[in-house]
């Protein structure tokens, strides 16, 4: 074993490159798929186990000697259907660079599924992006209960996952020049819950001068699931499952600190029909030192008191495919047919008007039809609108209303051959599904016919860091304004059009007018922003727990 490790070290040293970081010498290696360097498993913070399990990250420890950056398999602990995957001490970066000399724009990528899981970072190849003269960085941050247990006590103040990202960005600011990156041109890029993290981070004062541009794809700060409404109650649900019922927030935090992570994982199989994650970022006490997110995103956006940086928001035309499994292989269609109110999003409080407004929403999407496989397309539209589309558009407009920088919006409707892996024959697909942005960014599961779309999207994303200097696309893409919702639309289905092109690339203005008018009316009347959920005022009753159990489906 020692001989193998020595052999790998010597190979990396001979064919790789050495850089100096604040922790010591780091040795990267040549990538296997191109002419660039990779640094895997670079620590940006210290241990997060034991007493640090739910706290803000601590500084990384100095290397005992030259560190060979070869560990590409580090994942943060996360619950999956196969059991617990990953480890607690996971705060690592993977850094990909063409060279370590010429200053280049830096892209920091955050990817997460509902704050709960994240694919292994080597799932994608970053070759095409790195060859466009950027430094690409993927960042691990704590997930699920480990990243977002919000009890408002010193042992578990909340938002450890967000604080990981800030800590990682500080490390990048101090060290990325050694990897050929420009610390003054950092683009924070996120997808799904990772996009919501990107958006939330840019609204905090701690991100000042750490992030210079941002891209949020299929997620935003105003998504109903982006910020927790009842974080302490959700923590108590986990505590009840693990035998800690009736504990105070302080005692619950202490018990969870000393509980084995595999035992904790056994109690994390929650699924709420209103699409609320069991653990998510929360509003923290503004009077406590170290708090990060101290006000609702809508209030921060309206105040204009945030870093005015250029931002791109994007969504796909069929974001509702995120919930296709629950319909095609589960019982959500039946449950929605019988109890539609259970599927209403958490950020709209209808109170005594719940029955009436639920009927209005159901009629808007399903008319007088039953919710079944016959209306699966309507189901996907409802899920997509409430999960991503409406909130992304609302966030973009809210930011454009108060920022001095440009905000751009993009809809991906192109259904290319990347959809050949669609596993639901009974569900027709007529657009871009949730996750398709990643296929085009990272050239994943694409055929040759899809390459023009990929080239266009990548050129725009990379050109963004260079103030569009390298952008060769001919289609205009003006920023949106509070009064004019300009957006870029990618359409087509991989078949030749009249002009022999296989996709359309259009600048549009009118943005889903019927759907947005409908939802804006509801938000104007019923929206309630998340607030700080003090442990001294959060009362968890037996009735609440029983009601929550009714809307929980186990994996």
Size of the chain in residues: 555
Report whether 270 contacts 278 (CB < 8 A).
yes
Instruction: Tokens for 350, please give them.
Output: 């209808």
Report the SS3 class of residue 83.
Answer: strand
553's CB contacts (< 8 A; 6+ apart) are: 271, 273, 330, 331
Higher pLDDT, 483 or 142: 142
- Cα(454)–Cα(414) distance, integer angstroms: 11
Whole-number Cα distances in Å, 193 to 64, 141, 186, 188: 36, 12, 20, 13
Residue 540 DSSP symbol: -
Domain-by-domain residue ranges, the chain? 9-537
Mean pLDDT of the chain: 92
Lowest mean pLDDT among 141-155, 482-496, 519-533: 482-496
Q: Which residues pair with 68 in a beta bridge?
A: 27
pLDDT value of residue 548: 47
Report whether 44 contacts 38 (CB < 8 A).
no
User: Mean of the pLDDT values across residues 100-104?
Assistant: 95
Report whether 219 contacts 227 (CB < 8 A).
no
pLDDT value of residue 555: 35
Confidence band (pLDDT; 50, 70, 90) for 500?
Answer: low
Q: Provide the terminal-to-terminal Cα distance of the chain, rounded to the nearest Å.
A: 39
Q: Which CATH architecture has domain 9-537?
A: 3-Layer(aba) Sandwich (3.40)
Asked whether residue 24 carries a pLDDT value surpassing 60, the answer given is yes
pLDDT value of residue 5: 47
The DSSP-derived string for 218-259 is S--TTSTTTS-SSHHHHHHHHHHHTT-TT--HHHHHHHHHHS
Strands 104-112 vs 135-139: parallel, antiparallel or unpaired = parallel
Element holding 382 (H helix, E strand):
helix 376-384
Report the SS3 class of residue 33.
Answer: coil
Whole-prediction pTM value?
0.93
pLDDT value of residue 13: 44
Report whether 216 contacts 196 (CB < 8 A).
yes
Asked whether residue 14 carries a pLDDT value surpassing 50, the answer given is no
- Cα(163)–Cα(44) distance, integer angstroms: 12
Asked whether residue 512 carries a pLDDT value surpassing 80, the answer given is yes
Three-class secondary structure assignment of 138-156: EECCCCHHHHHCCCCECCE
Whole-number Cα distances in Å, 27 to 30, 36, 89, 93, 505: 10, 14, 21, 14, 43
260's CB contacts (< 8 A; 6+ apart) are: none
pLDDT tens digits, 173-198: 999 999 999 999 999 999 999 999 99
CA dihedral over 185, 121, 416, 190, signed as positive or negative: negative
Instruction: Tokens for 324, please give them.
Output: 């296709």
Asked whether residue 172 carries a pLDDT value surpassing 80, the answer given is yes
The tally of CA atoms less than 13 A away on the side-chain side of residue 51 is: 2
């Amino acid at each position: 074993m020692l001989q193998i490790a020595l052999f790998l070290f010597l190979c990396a040293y001979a064919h790789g490159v050495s850089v100096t970081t604040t922790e010591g010498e780091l040795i990267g290696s040549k990538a296997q798929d191109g002419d660039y360097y990779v640094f895997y498993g670079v620590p940006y913070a210290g241990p997060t186990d034991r007493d640090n399990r739910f706290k803000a990250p601590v500084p990384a420890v100095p290397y005992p000697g030259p560190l060979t950056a070869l560990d590409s398999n580090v994942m943060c602990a996360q619950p999956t259907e196969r059991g617990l995957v990953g480890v607690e001490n996971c705060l690592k970066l993977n850094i990909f660079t063409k060279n370590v000399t010429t200053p280049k724009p830096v892209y920091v990528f955050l990817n997460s599924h509902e704050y709960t899981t994240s694919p292994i970072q080597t799932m994608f190849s970053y070759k095409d992006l790195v060859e466009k003269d950027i430094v690409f960085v993927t960042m691990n941050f704590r997930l699920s209960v480990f990243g977002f247990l919000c009890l408002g006590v010193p042992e578990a103040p909340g938002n450890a996952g967000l604080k990981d990202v800030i800590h990682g960005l500080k490390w990048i600011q101090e060290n990325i020049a050694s990897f050929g990156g420009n610390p003054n041109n950092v683009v924070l890029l996120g997808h799904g819950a990772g996009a919501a993290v990107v958006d939330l981070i840019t609204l905090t004062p701690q991100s000042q001068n750490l992030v210079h541009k941002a891209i949020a794809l299929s997620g935003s700060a105003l998504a109903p699931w982006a910020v927790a409404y009842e974080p302490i109650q959700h923590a108590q649900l986990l505590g009840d499952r693990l035998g800690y019922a009736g504990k105070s927030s302080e005692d619950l935090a202490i018990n969870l600190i000393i509980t084995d992570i595999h035992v904790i994982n056994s109690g994390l199989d929650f699924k709420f029909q209103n699409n609320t994650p069991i653990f998510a970022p929360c509003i923290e006490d503004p009077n406590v030192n170290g708090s990060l997110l101290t006000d609702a995103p809508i209030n921060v956006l309206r105040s204009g008191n945030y870093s005015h940086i250029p931002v791109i928001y994007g969504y796909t035309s069929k974001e509702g495919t995120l919930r296709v499994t629950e319909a095609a292989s589960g019982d959500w269609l039946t449950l929605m047919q019988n109890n539609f109110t259970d599927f209403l999003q958490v950020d709209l409080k209808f109170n005594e008007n719940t029955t009436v407004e639920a009927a209005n929403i159901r009629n808007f999407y399903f008319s007088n039809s039953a919710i079944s496989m016959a209306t699966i397309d309507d189901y996907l539209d409802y899920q997509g609108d409430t999960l991503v589309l409406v909130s992304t558009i609302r966030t973009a407009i809210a930011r454009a209303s108060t920022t001095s920088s440009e905000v751009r919006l993009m809809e991906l409707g192109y259904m290319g051959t990347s959809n050949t892996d669609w596993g639901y024959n009974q569900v027709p697909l007529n657009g871009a599904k949730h996750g398709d942005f990643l296929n085009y960014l990272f050239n994943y599961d694409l055929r040759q016919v899809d390459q023009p779309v990929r080239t266009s999207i990548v050129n725009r994303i990379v050109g963004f860091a260079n103030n569009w200097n390298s952008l060769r696309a001919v289609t205009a893409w003006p920023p949106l304004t509070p009064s004019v919702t300009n957006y870029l639309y990618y359409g087509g289905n991989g078949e030749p059009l009249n002009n022999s092109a296989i996709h359309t690339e259009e600048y549009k203005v009118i943005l889903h007018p019927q759907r947005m008018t409908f939802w804006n009316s509801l938000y104007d009347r019923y929206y309630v922003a998340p607030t700080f959920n003090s442990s001294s005022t959060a009362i968890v009753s037996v009735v609440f727990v029983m009601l929550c159990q009714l809307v929980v489906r186990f994996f």
